[in-house]
């Protein structure tokens, strides 16, 4: 079995195991802590899932390195070799406050190139996946590639800071040229909305490598674009102001941004 197929099989199994732990967690026994701010939360479940995934990855693939949100990964200075990007719960605020709209995400990169992406919508039991060159799938069923729509033809998704903080007010004119704005609160699930054709772009003012990695593989797989707001390439060693979008909307968004 090729390395990619071996990983594919194991990742799907591990993600389902993680989701079973999350689903069996009792909301009232969750330990919730603040990280950098009152709305930047981490729970014992985020830590447990990342710790377990990291342990499983290291046991099967000891040469590989891990970039994870909650501190169980490696301190990466480059993207050489095989790197696993792990977001144990994407949408922790939703997990704590809504008990829905959160995802487990894994992206695998070889020498900096995205080769596999997995986004699991835990509550809906939908596992979205992509292997570079093989298309995008939901629960192993191939998904239709979304239409390449322009900014004026669809809805745009953003993170809340882009709408609430005045320093980003310039970006509101992009939203103004679209049909309207939607916000889910999980970078991974916003990307899934793009892949389903429900929005034409997702813009977020500050995404970390683990927020971007899995979705980037999937979005590039359908020929759409992922970049920083100014059109420059994503840097998976740092935070990025990130656009995921259709090809047509991307050109329009970058033009507005550069004015
Ligand atoms: C967050 C979510 C959110 C986005 C934040 C991310 P987390 O991830 O994806 O939608 O706006 O920038 O940090 O912290 O819940 O894994
Ligand atoms: Ca977080
Ligand atoms: Ca995240
Ligand atoms: Ca997270």
Q: The pTM is what?
A: 0.97
Indicate the number of domains in the chain.
2
Q: Determine if ligand 1 sits within 6 Å of the CB of residue 212.
A: no
Q: Are residues 10 and 136 in the same domain?
A: yes
Q: Are residues 15 and 134 in the same domain?
A: yes
Query: Quick check: helix, strand or coil at residue 126?
Result: strand
107, 125, 142 - which closes a domain: 142
Closest-CA residue, ligand 1 atom 13, reads 207
Q: Determine if ligand 1 sits within 6 Å of the CB of residue 185.
A: yes
Q: Could you list which residues have their CB under 5 Å from ion ligand 3?
A: 87, 90, 211
106, 123, 142 - which closes a domain: 142
Q: Are residues 131 and 21 in the same domain?
A: yes
Task: Find out whether 179 and 153 touch, Cβ atoms under 8 Å.
Answer: yes
Q: DSSP assignment of 31-88, as one string?
A: -EEESSSTT-EEEHHHHHHHHHHHHHHHHH-TT-EEEETTS-S---S---SEEEEEEE
Per-residue pLDDT for the chain (259 aa), expressed as one digit of tens each? 799 999 999 999 999 999 999 988 777 789 999 999 999 899 999 999 999 999 999 999 999 999 999 999 999 999 999 999 999 999 999 999 999 999 999 999 999 999 999 999 999 999 999 999 999 999 999 999 999 999 999 999 999 888 888 888 878 889 999 999 999 999 999 999 999 999 999 999 999 999 999 999 999 999 999 999 999 999 999 999 999 999 999 999 987 766 6
Q: Determine if ligand 1 sits within 6 Å of the CB of residue 215.
A: no
Which residue segment(s) compose the domain that 117 sits in? 3-142
Q: Determine if ligand 1 sits within 6 Å of the CB of residue 8.
A: no
ipTM over 0.90: yes
Q: Are residues 43 and 138 in the same domain?
A: yes
The CATH code of the domain that includes 160 is 3.40.190.80
Q: Are residues 29 and 87 in the same domain?
A: yes
Q: Is 87 annotated as a binding residue?
A: yes
Q: Are residues 119 and 195 in the same domain?
A: no
């Amino acid at each position: 079995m090729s390395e990619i197929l071996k990983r594919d099989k194991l990742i799907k199994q591990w993600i389902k195991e993680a989701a079973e732990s999350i689903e069996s967690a009792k909301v009232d026994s969750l330990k919730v802590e603040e990280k950098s701010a009152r709305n930047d939360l981490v729970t014992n479940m985020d830590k447990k899932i990342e710790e377990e995934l990291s342990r499983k990855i290291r046991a099967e693939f000891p040469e590989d390195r891990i970039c994870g949100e909650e501190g169980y990964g490696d301190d990466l200075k480059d993207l050489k070799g095989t790197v696993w990007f792990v977001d144990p719960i994407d949408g922790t605020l939703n997990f704590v406050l809504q008990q829905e709209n959160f995802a487990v995400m894994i992206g695998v990169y070889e020498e900096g190139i995205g080769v596999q992406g997995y986004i699991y919508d835990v509550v809906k039991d939908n596992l979205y996946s992509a292997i570079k060159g093989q298309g995008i799938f939901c629960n192993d069923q191939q998904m239709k590639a979304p239409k390449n729509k322009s900014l004026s033809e669809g809805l745009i998704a953003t993170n809340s800071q882009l709408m609430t903080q005045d320093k980003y007010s310039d970006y509101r004119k992009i939203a103004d040229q679209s049909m309207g704005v939607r916000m889910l609160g999980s970078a991974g699930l916003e990307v899934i909305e793009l892949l389903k054709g429900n929005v034409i772009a997702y813009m977020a003012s500050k995404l970390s490598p683990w927020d971007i990695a899995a979705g980037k593989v999937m979005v590039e797989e359908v020929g759409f674009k992922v970049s920083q707001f100014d059109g420059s390439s994503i840097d998976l060693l740092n935070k990025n102001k990130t656009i995921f979008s259709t090809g047509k909307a991307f050109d329009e968004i970058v033009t507005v941004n550069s004015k």
